């Protein structure tokens, strides 16, 4: 396990600035979600981590040493656009990528067989990859990327195009790898899957990191909270209206009272005041979701 | 295991087991056998039909003419007269002949009127072959005396020690021509195989995975080495099959495959250093073209665009091939000597010069050095284009963009 540190990394293509100034740290064994809208610079950042692109400036280190070819062979990569040799058989394809990652024969074929069984690809092992469905090709791709028990596995949009069953299978595989000590970096637009898997996140927009940290840290820095109260009676509304800094949320699709309050508001005292004012059947302090944090970071960058 | 070796092994295995490669090797081997066998099996029949003539005229004249014409023609029939001008049906009816020659004597003058399917190939041969008969009519000498007196003993001896006689020189030219054809085919087949391989990895996005694990320049080198190896194996198969076919024909028919003078390669045997030079030029030429084709392929995004980028690269291959033909005829002309130093052309031109003449050692050394340096420079430039081109998606880059890539 190691620590990945990106520090002041930038990359342009001609006059187009893809990554302006990216810095973040991924701790050993973490699953790090790299979020951002299309064109934010996620893929370019991942390619620089893997040495596919060379940064114009800044440094990328793994365990305090620059990421060179020897280090990169211990990494795994699953790009957004899947790449497989169409005519090569599934078994041979996985073993080939194993050898490229330094697994000498016959270990390559042994590990390929293990992954084929693990991913339920047994009946396709002897078939050319081009004959497989997209979901099964994706499974082959993850096997190619993870066959060598990588120290760091970089996954660009790993869930795109997968049906819920295959997405769940992939989640299970990634959890297993993480438990075995692999550090994960993944980008995805499927927020719930990222939130489910990752401990820490970085939101990129306009080529820079807008927010970074664990979900707890990101929530802690969020300036407001939402309180939801039922029933929507006038007496309870009056208490909320009188609370300093509380503002009603305009669009609520259920008969309840929803107010935004400062993050440091004393919600216990608020609950006591509400109970004193009338019947309270439900009181909830809602933490911001990853989606909220993401959207707010993107809006701020716009 | 070294990643470059892994790529080399995979590329080698993929290429040598690919159907197009196996098919090309098989077709090539069959072609070699066919080329060796064709003259023996069909040459006599084809030749006799193309040269079969019907002689028409006074039997006292045509009987002598038939003997004189026998060295160039097969006499299909002899007639005393024609009822009408002959047509195609007449030729078919007279042993599928190619021509009818009406030979007439008026005093001491001999005249020949030839009716032929292909009028281009008879006039000169008739005039040459029947000249003794004309002289006999004019002088009263016998044809046999005239032939004896007109026989001149001619011997051609080579200067400079390369070839002892004309036969060896002609054999060397034939081999030189064969070598150039093999180089031409090897470059086109294998350089385009590299192109297809690079294009497949680029368009299927495998390249992105590969360059994360293997340095692009090493990746390119592994692919070229693998393709070169399969190319050399293919050539070796063709040469071995050609040799075996030639040997079998000599064994069966008791003479050379062509049915002519027995093929004796001993007089043109090249010294080891020149054989090494030939191998060197073959490999250098192969390397020069391979890296350029690979770099070009890395710039395309659809395999359909392969033809567009391959087109310009075919021009120097064809130019080199044509110049090599000129080199066979005039291997020591200043222009040919200059072209034998020029990168991309030299592998073809120097190849033929070494085969047919004594090229000064310094010229061979200079050309090898220049072309090796050019191959390294091409590989370096191609590596830069390949490294960037592999990750260029969307619209193909303009020429200006390619130049910018090379300058970075």
pLDDT digits (tens, 9 = 90+) for B200-233: 888 888 888 888 888 888 888 888 889 888 888 8
pLDDT of B380 higher than 50: yes
Q: Average of pLDDT values for A281-297? A: 89
pLDDT of B395 higher than 70: no
| Inter-chain CB proximity A83 and B208 less than 8 Å | yes
Which pLDDT score, from 0 to 100, does residue B259 have? 45
Which pLDDT score, from 0 to 100, does residue B397 have? 62
- In the block, which residue shows the tokens 């060397």? B172
Whether chain B has a CB inside 8 Å of the CB on A75: the answer is yes
What is the strand order of the sheet A200-205 is part of? A65-66, A57-62, A4-13, A16-26, A208-214, A200-205, A31-35, A183-187, A152-156, A75-78
Whether chain A has a CB inside 8 Å of the CB on B206: the answer is yes
pLDDT of B176 higher than 80: no
Residues in chain B: 408
Taking contacts as CB-CB distances below 8 angstroms, the residues of chain B near A101 are 213
Q: How confident is residue B35, by pLDDT bands cut at 50, 70 and 90?
A: confident
Taking contacts as CB-CB distances below 8 angstroms, the residues of chain B near A50 are 212
Q: Which two tokens stand for residue A48?
A: 């620089």
Closest Cβ opposite residue A51 in set B7, B206, B212 = B212
Is the previous residue joined to A231 through a cis bond, with omega within 30 degrees of 0?
A: yes
Which pLDDT score, from 0 to 100, does residue B182 have? 80
CA nearest to A71 within chain B: B213
Which pLDDT score, from 0 to 100, does residue B9 have? 93
Cα(B211)–Cα(B76) distance, integer angstroms: 72
Q: Average of pLDDT values for A81-105? A: 91
**ipTM value for the complex:** 0.81
* Residue A293: how many other CB atoms lie within 10 Å: 23
β-strands A152-156, A75-78 pairing: parallel
pLDDT of B393 higher than 70: no
Q: How confident is residue A283, by pLDDT bands cut at 50, 70 and 90?
A: very high
Which pLDDT score, from 0 to 100, does residue B277 have? 79
pLDDT of B258 higher than 70: no
Which pLDDT score, from 0 to 100, does residue B379 have? 84
Within 8 A by CB and 6+ apart from A17, the residues are A10, A207
| Inter-chain CB proximity A52 and B204 less than 8 Å | no
Q: Are B181 and B282 in contact (CB under 8 A)?
A: no
Which pLDDT score, from 0 to 100, does residue B262 have? 45
Which pLDDT score, from 0 to 100, does residue B39 have? 66
Within 8 A by CB and 6+ apart from A137, the residues are A82, A84, A129
Give chain B's mean pLDDT.
81
Cα(A233)–Cα(A285) distance, integer angstroms: 18
Which pLDDT score, from 0 to 100, does residue B57 have? 92
Helical H segments across B151-271, by residue range? 166-203, 206-213, 216-253
Residues in chain A: 302
Mutation test of the interface with chain B: which of A39, A52, A80, A144, choosing the one with the most B Cβ atoms within 10 A?
A52
β-strands A57-62, A4-13 pairing: antiparallel
Which pLDDT score, from 0 to 100, does residue B164 have? 67
Closest Cβ opposite residue B10 in set A52, A84, A96 = A96
The phi, psi pair for A268, rounded to 5°, reads -65, -45
Which pLDDT score, from 0 to 100, does residue B396 have? 61
Q: Which two tokens stand for residue B309?
A: 């980028």
pLDDT of B175 higher than 60: yes
Taking contacts as CB-CB distances below 8 angstroms, the residues of chain B near A69 are 213-215
Which pLDDT score, from 0 to 100, does residue B370 have? 95
Q: Name the 3-class secondary structure at B267.
A: helix
Taking contacts as CB-CB distances below 8 angstroms, the residues of chain A near B10 are 96, 99
- The CA-based angle B408-B200-A137, given to 5 degrees, is 115
The phi, psi pair for B321, rounded to 5°, reads -65, -45
Q: Average of pLDDT values for B78-100? A: 86
Chain A neighbours among B 170-199 (CB < 8 Å)?
Answer: none
Taking contacts as CB-CB distances below 8 angstroms, the residues of chain B near A102 are 1, 3
Which pLDDT score, from 0 to 100, does residue B261 have? 42
pTM of the complete model:
0.74
pLDDT of B122 higher than 70: yes
Q: Which two tokens stand for residue A266?
A: 């004393």
Q: Which two tokens stand for residue B70?
A: 């026998």
Q: How far is B19 from chain A (nearest CA, A)?
A: 12
Task: Encode pLDDT of A122-175 as tens digits.
Answer: 999 999 999 998 888 989 999 999 999 999 999 999 888 788 888 888 899 999
Within 8 A by CB and 6+ apart from A110, the residues are none
pLDDT of A228 higher than 60: yes
Q: Average of pLDDT values for B263-268? A: 49
Cα(A180)–Cα(B33) distance, integer angstroms: 61
More confident of the two residues A33 and B208: A33
Task: Encode pLDDT of A35-69 as tens digits.
Answer: 998 888 999 999 999 988 889 999 999 999 999 88
């Amino acid at each position: 396990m190691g620590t990945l540190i990106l520090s002041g990394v930038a990359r342009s293509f001609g006059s187009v600035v893809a990554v302006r100034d990216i810095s973040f740290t991924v701790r050993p064994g973490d699953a790090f979600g790299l979020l951002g809208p299309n064109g934010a610079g996620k893929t370019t950042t991942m390619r620089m981590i893997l040495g596919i692109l060379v940064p114009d400036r800044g440094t990328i280190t793994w365990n305090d040493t620059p990421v060179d070819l020897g280090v990169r062979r211990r990494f795994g990569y699953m790009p957004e656009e899947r790449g497989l040799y169409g005519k090569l058989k599934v078994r041979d394809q996985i073993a080939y990528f194993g050898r490229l990652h330094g697994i000498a024969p016959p270990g390559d074929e042994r590990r390929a067989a293990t992954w084929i069984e693990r991913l339920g690809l047994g009946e396709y092992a002897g078939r050319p990859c081009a004959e497989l469905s997209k979901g099964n090709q994706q499974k082959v791709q993850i096997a190619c990327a993870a066959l060598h028990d990588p120290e760091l596995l970089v996954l660009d949009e790993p869930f795109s195009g997968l049906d819920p069953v295959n997405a769940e299978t992939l989640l299970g595989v990634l959890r297993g790898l993480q438990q075995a000590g692999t550090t994960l970096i993944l980008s995805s637009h499927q927020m719930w899957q990222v939130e489910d898997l990752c401990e820490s996140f970085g939101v990129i927009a306009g080529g820079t990191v807008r927010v970074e940290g664990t979900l707890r840290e990101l929530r802690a820095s969020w300036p407001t909270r939402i309180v939801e109260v039922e029933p929507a009676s006038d007496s309870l509304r009056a208490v909320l209206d009188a609370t300093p800094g509380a503002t009603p949320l305009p669009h609520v699709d259920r008969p309840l009272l929803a107010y935004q309050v400062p993050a440091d508001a004393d919600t216990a005292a608020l609950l006591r005041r509400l109970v004193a004012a009338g019947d309270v059947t439900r009181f909830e302090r809602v933490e911001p979701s990853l989606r909220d944090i993401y959207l707010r970071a993107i809006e701020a960058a716009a | 295991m070294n990643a470059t070796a892994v790529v080399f092994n995979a590329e080698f295995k993929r290429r040598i087991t690919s159907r197009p490669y196996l098919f090309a090797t098989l077709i090539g081997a069959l072609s070699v056998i066919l080329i060796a066998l064709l003259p023996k099996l069909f040459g006599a029949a084809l030749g006799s039909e193309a040269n079969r003539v019907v002689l028409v005229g006074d039997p006292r004249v045509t009987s002598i003419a038939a003997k004189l014409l026998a060295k160039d023609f097969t006499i299909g029939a002899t007639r005393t007269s024609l009822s009408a001008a002959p047509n195609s049906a007449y030729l078919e009816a007279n042993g599928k002949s190619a021509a009818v020659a009406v030979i007439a004597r008026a005093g001491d003058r001999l005249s020949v009127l030839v009716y032929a399917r292909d009028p281009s190939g008879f006039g000169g041969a008739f005039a040459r072959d029947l000249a003794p008969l004309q002289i006999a009519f004019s002088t009263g000498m016998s044809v046999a005396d005239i032939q004896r007196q007109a026989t001149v003993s001619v011997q051609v001896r080579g200067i400079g020690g390369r070839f002892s006689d004309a036969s060896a020189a002609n054999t060397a030219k034939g081999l030189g021509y064969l070598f150039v054809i093999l180089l031409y085919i090897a470059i086109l087949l294998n350089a385009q195989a590299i192109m297809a391989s690079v294009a497949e990895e680029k368009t299927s996005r495998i390249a992105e995975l590969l360059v994360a694990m293997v340095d692009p320049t090493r990746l390119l080198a592994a692919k070229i080495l693998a393709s070169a190896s399969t190319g050399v194996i293919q050539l070796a198969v063709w040469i071995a099959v050609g040799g075996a076919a030639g040997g079998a024909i000599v064994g069966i028919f008791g003479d050379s495959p062509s049915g002519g003078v027995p093929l004796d390669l001993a007089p043109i045997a090249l010294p080891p250093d020149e054989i090494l030079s030939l191998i060197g030029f073959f490999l250098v030429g192969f390397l020069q073209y391979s890296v350029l084709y690979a770099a070009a392929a890395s710039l395309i995004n659809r395999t359909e665009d392969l033809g567009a980028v391959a087109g310009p690269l075919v021009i120097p291959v064809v130019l080199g091939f044509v110049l090599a033909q000129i080199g066979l005829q005039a291997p020591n002309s200043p222009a040919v000597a200059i072209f034998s130093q020029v990168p991309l052309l030299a592998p073809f031109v120097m190849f033929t010069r070494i085969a047919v003449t004594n090229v000064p050692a310094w010229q061979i050394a200079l050309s090898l050095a220049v072309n090796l340096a050019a191959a390294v420079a091409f590989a370096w430039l191609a590596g830069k284009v390949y490294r960037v081109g592999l990750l260029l998606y969307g619209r193909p880059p303009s020429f200006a963009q390619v130049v910018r890539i090379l300058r970075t």
